[in-house]
Structure 1
């Protein structure tokens, strides 16, 4: 009996000795799309110890996106939410990342929003007297702009201070740094293994952190702490096409965006589809986007690639940012929809400031506006 007890104690001691050491960090960021990547970058730049968990999905919304930053949205030509603050902030932020990684990611360019009809042209001209677009409107063209390969018989609105970001390439550069420096873990975060208390959180009995931020994008609908938020994921498809006869000196927009990628290639998007989602790109998505491109140009084009991803949209088209109502160690950052590239830098800084006790979360982004939806 004594021999058996000694063996049991020895086995237990051996098991305890072989446990991996506890890792301490300031913040765990779950997700490394554009929301998580920008937030983790801001926190690291401020000297915090950050650990990022991301499974590495090639078809994530951020990897599929064209990275367009557009000050005017939709058929109503409405000024994008907080555009005057978000756009210049984002441009400066991405230029800083270009310097850090010695790569080109951000292209500031004019956007030509083509009028679909004479009625649309007249409606925009009537609205322009009140200057609703501020400094973002460079010019209103009432005649065909005569651009190579562009069909624009009703003219269009020339918009400035916008552009596009090579999101896939940017995330790849940041991920390479994370793999090298050890702050990026290529694994799916298991929320059932998270234990929180007043002082912070412990994950998988191996990592201690002051705070954990969910940046999971559309996957947050399955998060046990945040699944009450009104995220309404929608699937978008994009095409990469070659069209050598089409002007590449601007972004084009009429029912679809056409973003120049260089060497006569363009990214065309995007579709909006509500659940249930197809498993990847669809024939219907391809047909819809090629039909939209054929309205913009009469030049021949070839489809080179087709991708699909799921965006994390919110019912009121505003992002979701800030602390969990009852779990002090948790926060949420996301719900950017199709505006992630433009929103992410400023909101990352806002959340980092809040975490440092230096700012308040904007009311129109706060999770509190949906507090009534949380189960009691």
Structure 2
């Protein structure tokens, strides 16, 4: 039985609205409409706040490139993802609510089969399993090949439950279409040099007044004049879309790369990790690396039909960055989600909204305050 500390996403999203001082134009100005900014803006709008979002609409943003994988157990160490027991059920309920709102399917709750790559890994995981470290997310461990169609798994693997994948690009497109129709989404880049803050809020470009501004810029925040001191360590990743007839599509596959089923014999394969300096878009090296990883998982022939690359907003300790600026009360930050964006975004959007309304504090292990000592003297 998977544990969850929340009964439903709707209960936390649609809580009573606090009366706030009347402001011109909007209560909250959100900069960025990736998965972090989009979920936060949605939560704030559901609570009755006036929200304006600035986003230039980049097709190669990390959120638009991502396969949207929600994985409870990840990495070579086979470790339980941070706060998985709370984040995963909450995210699933959140995306189901959005599906009802827009009449589209976004969340595909499917098992994940994590293939063992050797007898040594097999033995190490089996030894760890005696302590039940995975909070119920491991449904089964097998040392035998499960004989999935087209899958090469001679050492067996682990069946994971409670995860799946989200159609992030389609989800963001649905939210953006609503924003364009209702006028709260401004399709342009935000110029931070045009922002002035005071005790009552902020003014942008001399014409937009907001009670509070939230930076959800992703990796671009490394150049932000207010938050550039945060320890973001952006990394670039390539993903491939492939056609592979006969490969099992009943689950996500994971061994050195994830293989996410898209339907009609198509799969998304990812992802690479590249540190600066970044290439200008997808690379041949990334394509070859991912093709080689897929060839370990399947002996079937496949054709690459698409390739994209984006830059993730990672953090050195692999924890998100959330909360108010240490010296400018009208500003907050929301990001640093790395490759875990779809799993983190819904619950953290609600947490930050609660904080902005004054009835919660940011979790210490997610608060940007843990890095306040990095802010140089004299920097905003």
The answer (yes or no) to whether the contact 1:243–1:300 under 8 Å persists in 2 is yes
Q: Distance in 2 between matches of 1:166 and 1:117?
A: 32
State the shift of 1:60 in Å: 0.2
1:230 is matched with 231
State the shift of 1:23 in Å: 5.1
1:10 is matched with none
1:256 and 2:257 matched: yes
- Residues 19-71 of structure 1: per-residue CA shift (max 9 Å, x gap): xxx95210000000000000000000000000000010000000000000000
**TM-score of the two chains, using structure 2 as the length reference:** 0.93
SS at match of 1:347: helix
1:147 and 2:145 matched: no
1:284 is matched with 285
1:66 is matched with 67
How do residues 1-376 of structure 1 correspond to structure 2 at under 5 angstroms? 24-376=25-377
Q: Distance in 2 between matches of 1:330 and 1:58?
A: 27
State the shift of 1:375 in Å: 1.3
SS at match of 1:372: helix
- Residues 225-244 of structure 1: per-residue CA shift (max 9 Å, x gap): 00000000000000000001
Q: Distance in 2 between matches of 1:266 and 1:203?
A: 43
2:13 is matched with none
Q: Which runs of 5+ in 1 are unaligned?
A: 1-21
SS at match of 2:29: strand
1:18 is matched with none
The answer (yes or no) to whether the contact 1:238–1:268 under 8 Å persists in 2 is yes
RMSD of Structure 2 on Structure 1 (CA): 0.7
**TM-score of the two chains, using structure 1 as the length reference:** 0.94
Q: Distance in 2 between matches of 1:273 and 1:319?
A: 20
Q: Distance in 2 between matches of 1:168 and 1:366?
A: 28
Q: Which runs of 5+ in 2 are unaligned?
A: 1-22
The answer (yes or no) to whether the contact 1:23–1:206 under 8 Å persists in 2 is no
- Runs of 4+ with >6 A deviation: none
SS at match of 1:150: coil
Larger helix fraction of residues: 1
Q: Distance in 1 between matches of 2:302 and 2:78?
A: 28
1:13 is matched with none
Q: Distance in 2 between matches of 1:86 and 1:319?
A: 13
- Larger CA Rg, structure 1 vs 2: 1
Q: Distance in 2 between matches of 1:313 and 1:87?
A: 19
Q: Distance in 2 between matches of 1:23 and 1:249?
A: 51
SS at match of 1:135: coil
2:3 is matched with none
Q: Distance in 2 between matches of 1:304 and 1:132?
A: 39
- Residues 105-143 of structure 1: per-residue CA shift (max 9 Å, x gap): 000010000000000000000000000012101000110
Q: Distance in 2 between matches of 1:358 and 1:316?
A: 27
**Aligned residue pair count:** 355
The answer (yes or no) to whether the contact 1:34–1:167 under 8 Å persists in 2 is yes
State the shift of 1:276 in Å: 0.2
Q: Distance in 2 between matches of 1:140 and 1:368?
A: 40
State the shift of 1:73 in Å: 1.1
2:5 is matched with none
SS at match of 1:318: coil
SS at match of 2:241: strand
Q: Distance in 2 between matches of 1:148 and 1:184?
A: 45
- Residues 233-282 of structure 1: per-residue CA shift (max 9 Å, x gap): 00000000000110000000000000000000000000000000000000
The answer (yes or no) to whether the contact 1:34–1:171 under 8 Å persists in 2 is yes
